[in-house]
Amino acid sequence: MSGTPPAEVHIDASLVRGLLDDQYPDLADLPLNAIDAGWDNQMFRLGDRLAVRLPRRALAAALAIHEQDWLPDLAPRLPIPTPAPLRVGAPGRGYPWRWSVLPWFEAATAHEAPLNRDQADRLADFLIALHTEALTGASINPFRGEPLVRRAPDAEARLGRLSRATHLITPQVLRAWRAGLATPASISPKWIHGDLHARNILVREGAICAVIDWGDMTSGDVATDLAVAWHLFDPAPARAAFLARYGATQAQIARAMAWAVRIGAILLETGLVDHPAHAAMGEAVLRRLSADG
């Protein structure tokens, strides 16, 4: 099993300060603090209201460009705030890729803070607003939003490893995966977030206050995003209410469950290596799928 992909460049506060000095000197004197590093990006808080986000590997650099090019146009149409880039940075000081200055949201992530019951409706309405026809030339992501059959070899190898390492790959989980894989994908070019899990949804006082991390945004199958039902909502009637509010078809639900299997397995397997929060998230997803199986 492999864990979080390693960084391909060294990123620290000194580098970020230098980039700001060179390109946005009006921001360079604000307090700067390292916050977190995920699979794809390193995040720094800049003053009270801003953040700096820098890709930490080449694959993520391409995703950052998608976010910079498309999210500023899409964000104003959405009913929940999203951190559209306020400024775009260029390569410099030995750092090879574009980077972003974003708004900062003072909040907890949904894997840390419980959601009020009405937030299932709110998130469903957000996805209805998001899942509109994508423009010609919309960004394409080879890992999200595509027919599941293209991801089957990797997913099934991962499920096999987890079956030997844990008790979480139940018959219900495998049944959900196979049913979704067998459901024909009718994929129209709709905008999707592409990475909608609990760490990318911010919560303040029980309410969703932002949806973040849009690097995987792409044109593809909306079922990819509907998998969030198994990332967020308990008990099973809450998941059903979310999907009913959205108006999901049975085919979309089947594919959404399979996407939840795939992403839950990725979070669990990589998290068991080096990221306990991801492992806990993946376990929660797989347990919910077992309960619904």
Full pLDDT tens readout for the chain, 293 residues: 667 788 999 999 999 999 999 999 999 999 999 998 777 899 999 999 999 999 999 989 988 998 999 999 999 999 999 999 999 999 999 999 999 999 999 999 999 998 998 999 999 999 999 999 887 677 777 678 778 888 899 999 999 999 999 999 999 999 999 999 999 876 677 999 999 999 999 999 999 999 999 989 988 899 999 999 999 999 999 999 999 999 999 999 999 999 999 999 999 999 999 889 999 999 999 999 999 97
Q: Does residue 115 fall inside a structural domain?
A: yes
Structure-token pair, residue 267:
């979070």
Residues 125 and 267 in one domain: yes
Residues 147 and 258 in one domain: yes
Q: Does residue 223 fall inside a structural domain?
A: yes
CA separation for the pair 286, 51 (Å, rounded): 33
Q: What is the pLDDT of residue 4?
A: 78
Q: Does residue 21 fall inside a structural domain?
A: yes
Of 104, 128, 150, the residue at which a domain comes to its end is: 104
CA separation for the pair 28, 5 (Å, rounded): 30
Residues 227 and 253 in one domain: yes
**For the domain that residue 41 is a member of, what is the CATH number?**
3.30.200.20
Q: What is the pLDDT of residue 187?
A: 66
Residues 82 and 169 in one domain: no
Q: Does residue 194 fall inside a structural domain?
A: yes
Q: Does residue 261 fall inside a structural domain?
A: yes
How many separate domains does the chain show? 2
Range of the domain at 173: 109-292
Q: Does residue 1 fall inside a structural domain?
A: no
Residues 26 and 77 in one domain: yes
Residue type (1 letter), 140 = I
Residues 118 and 88 in one domain: no
Residues 94 and 117 in one domain: no
Q: What is the pLDDT of residue 1?
A: 62
Q: What percent of the chain has pLDDT over 70?
A: 97
**For the domain that residue 261 is a member of, what is the CATH number?**
3.90.1200.10
Residues 167 and 252 in one domain: yes
pTM score: 0.94
Q: Does residue 6 fall inside a structural domain?
A: no
Of 61, 79, 104, the residue at which a domain comes to its end is: 104
Residues 263 and 121 in one domain: yes
Q: What is the pLDDT of residue 80?
A: 97
Q: Does residue 8 fall inside a structural domain?
A: no
CA separation for the pair 137, 130 (Å, rounded): 17
Q: What is the pLDDT of residue 84?
A: 95
DSSP the chain: ---SPPPSS---HHHHHHHHHHH-TTTTTS-EEEEEE-SSEEEEEETTTEEEEEESSHHHHHHHHHHHHHHHHHGGGSSS-----SEEEPPBTTB-S-EEEEE----EETTTSPPPTTHHHHHHHHHHHH-SBPPTT----TTSSS-GGGGHHHHHHHHHHHHHH-S---HHHHHHHHHHHHSPP----EEE-S--SGGGEEEETTEEEEE---TT-EEE-THHHHTHHHHH--SHHHHHHHHHHHT--HHHHHHHHHHHHHHHHHHHHHHHHH-HHHHHHHHHHHHHHHHH-
User: Could you give the maximum distance between any two Cα atoms of the chain, in Å?
Assistant: 57
Of 79, 104, 129, the residue at which a domain comes to its end is: 104
